[in-house]
Structure 1
Amino acid sequence: MPSSRQAGSAGPPRRATLRDVADRAGVSTSTASLVFSGKGPVAVATAERVRAAAAELGFSGPDPLASSLRQGRVGTVAVVVEGPLRDAFRDPFALGVLDGLAEELDSAGRSMLLVAQPPDDPGRAVDQLATQAVDAAVFPLCGIATNPLVDHLAARGVPLVGSGAPVDRRVAHVLTDEAAAIALTTRLVLGLGHTRVAHVSMPLTPGAATGWAEPAEVAAAAYPDAAGRARGFLTLTGDDAPLVQTADLTVGSGEAAGRLLLDVPVARRPTAVVCQADLLAAGVVRAARALGLRVPQDVSVTGFDGVDLPWLDETLTTVLQPGRAKGRALGRLVRRRLEGEDVADEPFPVELRVGETTAPPPA
């Protein structure tokens, strides 16, 4: 049998195609295609001849990428995560969102392509996706308001879905009303009688260090979720309320913020700390204990997300925002966009859970 390459030529042999199989079996390409797809009537003898030809040529079936491109889809959805992926994998809320999103996409026969987007060089993700064929793109976690990926992907006609960021009319969102959500815990501690209330925020801008923040920094924040929660808090407490932003979304950063707020003379120490995430709240609880303070007798602490923290002795008072449910909602929105629906932003409901970390202020 003649080779597809001359003897001694460089490079791997050419992969057999469906047309090669059809020629070997003496049938049309469409008939060979029906044998592999199983979607049409083909005589048993003809089908056996096609399969025998395929076996002789080492042909295992049509190229799935070429087939999907002909159909206008590749079965892959880009999932853009800002920062190193290891940070998302350490955050139980982020893991819940990704898990729910993966479940919904899997049920639709699509897989996820995780794309890490460095906050200090967001354009790098454009280069990474420039050579990737994707059916849609999702921005499922905290991200910047303006993202260069939007222009790139929208120009390619790729449907875009997010959870509040990037802020762009071309992106359909599953939206949490961040200001209203943080107001649930803020109103709770104010209603308990607290007058010295402080706030621990997620990073407001890329590369932020843990430290004091001013209302002007909230107004100029790059992250819509952190800015929305901070605005919701300050609206109820006033701009004079102490506000600390953290470097990242970890227990360690929460503890550092807690020490800034609590390691001060008692007359200046807040009696309640409203946090933008459960991990940050857990860090504030740890700082309070290290300083000899009792939670909630000496200081009340609230969180956000409602993640499982089995190593924390107390049940946090927090805003319940189920990550897995939010991920599934994002996945459903992706499916609807891929089915050609003209979708609008969808609200994502949250609720208050009163736990064991809040109480009236000390006398």
Structure 2
Amino acid sequence: MSSRRATIADVARAAGVSPSTASVVFSGKTPVSDETRARVLEAAAALGYSGPDPLAASLRRGRSGIVGVLQRGRLGTVFTDPVQRATMDGLADAVSAIDASLLLLPPLTRRTAAGETAPAPAPAATLATVPLDAAVLIGTIPEAAGDVALLRARGVPVVVIEGDAGDGVPRMALDNQDAEHCLADHIRRLGHTDVAVVALPTDLNVTHERLEGVRRVFPDAPAYPTLGSSIDEGLRVGRDVFSRGRPTAVLAQSDLLAAGVIRAAEEAGLSVPGDVSVAGFDGVRVDGLAPYELTTMVQPAVDKGRAAGAAIVAMLAGEQPASVRFTSVFRSGNTTGPIPPSAAPGPR
């Protein structure tokens, strides 16, 4: 018995139609009669033909149909972080215009728990070998230069979201510094002067941009870095914050971190916002946060992803897209309020 894979020509012969007619039944690019479609599909089923070979199709197009996505840190955060999910939704929507799929890839280098750089585990070698039409970097660290150099050497177009990959690489940026400054100024106008920051990991550009926004209002505000954006990390670091002192306001660099800080405040016997005000960043829905509604900056995460995808489509068409800077919007909630009377400065 022959093990040869059935071809579209075999299906066409068995169905009594031309190969081009059999082909459009599977591609759907040209309408055919219901009778013809049924005859072709019946012949395909009998021959065990499941559809065109995707590798052969990609060779004909000169493209793989794959857009690689490099996520700094654990790949799993793409599925657990609401901002990452929204960004990926927008990216996937945009590249669907060229029938492309997204492939998550680990970076060539990673940061250890001690903050040092080290070669990523062996699977990162796929960055050098997997067929890619383009690549999107979400967040960058200095060591990302190696990733970018490798991709450019392969002739793979690169776009970066929330980071800087160097000249010639389109950036989908957010007004992190100005947005965080807006939040800090809101806290200042409520009378707060003793402010702490619960920050994202220190190796991310976004962390420093947002911290600079705070320092424009509160130059001496201490920053407590986390290992990532999660409620658990906000709780862990929030406990540390309240064990060291009692700031009257905490600016968390994500809504998930802010939710954890609120839990830590409650553990410490503090009311929000009566004893301590807490602000977040992102404008995402956080399950289980009621009755709190976070004071936060709402960022257009889906639009960032969609713009990155549009840039990819343009680059593959031979165009050079411009970088885009998105603006966040202030949203007042019930987690910030005036400085507690007991903490207010007395009369001079």
TM-score in terms of structure 1 length: 0.77
The answer to whether the 8 Å contact 1:96/1:324 transfers is yes
Relative distance call for 1:54 and 1:297 in structure 2 (3 A) is closer
> 2:241 matched to which residue of 1?
261
Within the candidate set 263, 287, 293, 1:286 is matched to 263
Following superposition, the deviation at residue 157 of structure 1 comes to: 1.4
One-letter amino acid matched to 1:226:
T
Task: Indicate if the aligned counterparts of 1:259 and 1:287 stay in contact, CA closer than 8 A.
Answer: yes
Aligned partner (choices 158, 161, 166) of residue 160 of structure 1 = 158
Match of 2:229 in 1: 249
Q: CA RMSD in A?
A: 3.3
Single out whichever of 57-66 and 333-342 deviates more from structure 2.
57-66
- 3-state SS in 1 of match to 2:106: strand
2-structure distance, mates of 1:310, 1:139: 28
Partner of 1:308: 285
Distance in 2, Cα, partners of 1:52 & 1:253: 56
What residue number does 1:10 align with? Answer: none
Q: What residue number does 2:180 align with?
A: 182
- The residue correspondences of 1:112-127 to structure 2 (distance < 5 A) are 112-117=102-107, 119-120=110-111, 121-122=119-120, 124=122, 126-127=124-125
Moved more, 228-237 or 346-355: 228-237
> Scaled by the length of structure 2, what TM-score is found?
0.80
TM-aligned CA deviation for residue 82 of structure 1? 2.4
- Match in the other structure for 1:87: 77
Distance 1:227 1:100 in 2: 25
Alpha-carbon shift at residue 128 of structure 1 (Å)? 1.1
Q: 1:357 to 1:132 in 2, by over 3 A?
A: same
Distance 2:296 2:216 in 1: 19
Corresponding residue for 1:28?
Answer: none
Q: CA deviation at 1:243?
A: 1.3
Match of 1:317 among 277, 295, 299: 295
Structure 1 residue 171: Cα displacement: 2.4
Alpha-carbon distance between aligned partners in 2 of 1:194 and 1:332, rounded to the nearest angstrom: 42
User: Cα offset for 1:162?
Assistant: 1.4
Answer whether contact 1:251 1:279 (CA < 8 A) is retained: yes
Q: In 2 relative to 1, CA 54–324 (structure 1 residues): closer, same or farther, beyond 3 Å?
A: closer
Taking the aligned partners of 1:36 and 1:66, their CA distance within structure 2 comes to: 14
CA shift digits 1:103-141 (9 cap, x unpaired): 22234421111223372334856511233111111123x
Separation of aligned partners in 1, 2:9 and 2:143: 47
CA distance in 1, matches of 2:48, 2:336: 68
Distance 1:14 1:307, change over 3 A: same
* Aligned twin of 2:143: 146
Aligned residues: 323
Q: Is the 8 A contact 2:230 2:257 kept in 1?
A: yes
Structure 1: unaligned runs, 5 residues or longer: 5-12, 25-30, 41-49, 205-221
Letter in 2 for 1:190: R
Deviation at 1:34, TM superposition (A): 7.4
Q: Which SS does the other structure have where 2:229 is aligned?
A: coil
Q: 1:51 to 1:84 in 2, by over 3 A?
A: closer
Correspondence 1:36 to 2:23: yes
Mark the CA change 1:351 to 1:18 in structure 2 (over 3 Å): closer, same or farther.
Answer: same
Q: How many angstroms does 1:53 deviate by?
A: 11
Partner of 2:330: 352
The equivalences for 1:181-200 within 5 A come to: 181-200=179-198
